[in-house]
């Protein structure tokens, strides 16, 4: 699959490293950056490490989807992510994924060299479908039930796997109408986004049925509460659980795994790939 200037062979597993440039990001333990430039240095240091550890993608997000997070203006989002994208493109060989739901950010990130649009709202905001289409970049459509503020209150599905499969069929058709070819679409069931623990576990166990739609699958479970709740571990002790679910997702047809811990995940997936490619 072509991601702007880079081609990636999706018959092998790929790791997407998370680079948060929100002041409240989980992975930085809630530390506050005193200035924009310190934030850029910290993000670049993380980015370099992740590429050295084998990340194919870096996911750059400037808006938090935590329940209760402050809404961010488009300008604020641009101020956070564009310098990071430019710095990564200037020095690292990696596909930049722009984690945004904001049409203007999609356009400016694409101009700055991003290779993938990763939208947790699946291009649902006004103007997002046409903005994404005009970039001609691949897009990842993530499923979310409800909105970040209230999505975990009481999520209900008839059948979580079938409901999400139906949602994907409908959304892919809406994208095609807007001029985004199906060959440019990746799907993501959105672990933790409007799902109970039981929903998340069932989704992972039956991920193969979503892979059967024929579009590449991206999944993100790294450090999420589905691991914390099963293992009763805080967020900084979820790596081993995260490796287990990364391998299970790959075995069930996932192509790209979004994680905070790139090195360990790359090793685990390389091992699994060696076994699964043997005859």
Residues that bind ligand 8Y4 (CB under 6 A): 26-27, 61, 65, 99, 118, 120, 140, 142, 188, 190-191, 218, 220, 223-224, 235, 258
CA distances from 218 to 145, 147, 187, 252 (A): 17, 20, 6, 12
Catalytic residue among 80, 171, 184, 224: 224
Nearest residue (CB) to ligand 8Y4, 13 versus 220? 220
Q: Which residues of 22-31 are buried (b: 16+ CB within 10 A; e: fewer)?
A: bbebbebeee
What is the number of other CB atoms lying within 10 angstroms of the CB of residue 161?
18
Nearest residue (CB) to ligand 8Y4, 235 versus 244? 235
Nearest residue (CB) to ligand 8Y4, 26 versus 157? 26
Nearest residue (CB) to ligand 8Y4, 37 versus 211? 211
CB of 69 to ligand 8Y4, least distance (A): 11
- 258 belongs to the catalytic site: yes
Residue whose token pair is 């691991």: 227
CB of 224 to ligand 8Y4, least distance (A): 4
Sheet holding 14-20, edge to edge: 185-188, 139-142, 116-119, 95-99, 57-61, 14-20, 256-259, 218-220
Catalytic residue among 80, 195, 223, 258: 258
* Nearest of 218, 52, 213 to residue 119 by alpha carbon: 218
CA distances from 53 to 57, 111, 260, 265 (A): 11, 27, 12, 9
CB of 275 to ligand 8Y4, least distance (A): 25
CB of 205 to ligand 8Y4, least distance (A): 17
- 169 belongs to the catalytic site: no
**Residues designated catalytic:** 224, 258
């Amino acid at each position: 699959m072509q991601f702007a200037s880079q081609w990636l062979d999706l018959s092998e597993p790929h790791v997407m490293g998370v680079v948060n440039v929100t002041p409240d990001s989980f992975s930085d333990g809630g530390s506050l950056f005193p200035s924009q430039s310190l934030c850029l240095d910290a993000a670049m240091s993380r980015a370099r490490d992740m590429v050295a550890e084998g990340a194919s993608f870096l996911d750059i997000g400037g808006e938090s989807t935590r329940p209760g997070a402050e809404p961010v203006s488009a300008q604020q989002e641009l101020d956070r992510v564009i310098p990071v994208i430019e710095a990564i493109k200037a020095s690292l060989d990696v596909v930049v994924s722009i984690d945004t739901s904001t049409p203007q950010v999609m356009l400016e990130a694409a101009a700055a060299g991003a290779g993938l649009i990763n939208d947790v709202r699946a291009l649902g905001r006004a103007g997002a479908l046409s903005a994404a289409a005009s970039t001609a970049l691949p897009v990842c459509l993530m499923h979310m039930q409800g909105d970040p503020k209230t999505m975990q209150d009481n999520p209900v599905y008839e059948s979580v796997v079938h409901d999400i499969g139906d949602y994907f069929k409908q959304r892919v058709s809406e994208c095609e109408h807007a001029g985004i070819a199906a060959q440019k679409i990746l799907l993501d069931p959105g672990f933790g986004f409007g799902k109970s623990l039981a929903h998340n576990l069932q989704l992972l166990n039956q991920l193969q049925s979503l892979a059967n739609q024929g579009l590449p699958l991206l999944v993100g479970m790294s450090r999420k509460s589905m691991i914390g709740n099963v293992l009763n571990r805080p967020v900084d002790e979820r790596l081993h659980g995260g490796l287990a679910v990364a391998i299970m997702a790959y075995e069930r047809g996932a192509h790209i795994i979004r994680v905070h811990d790139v090195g360990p995940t790359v090793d685990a997936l390389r091992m699994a790939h060696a076994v699964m490619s043997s005859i």
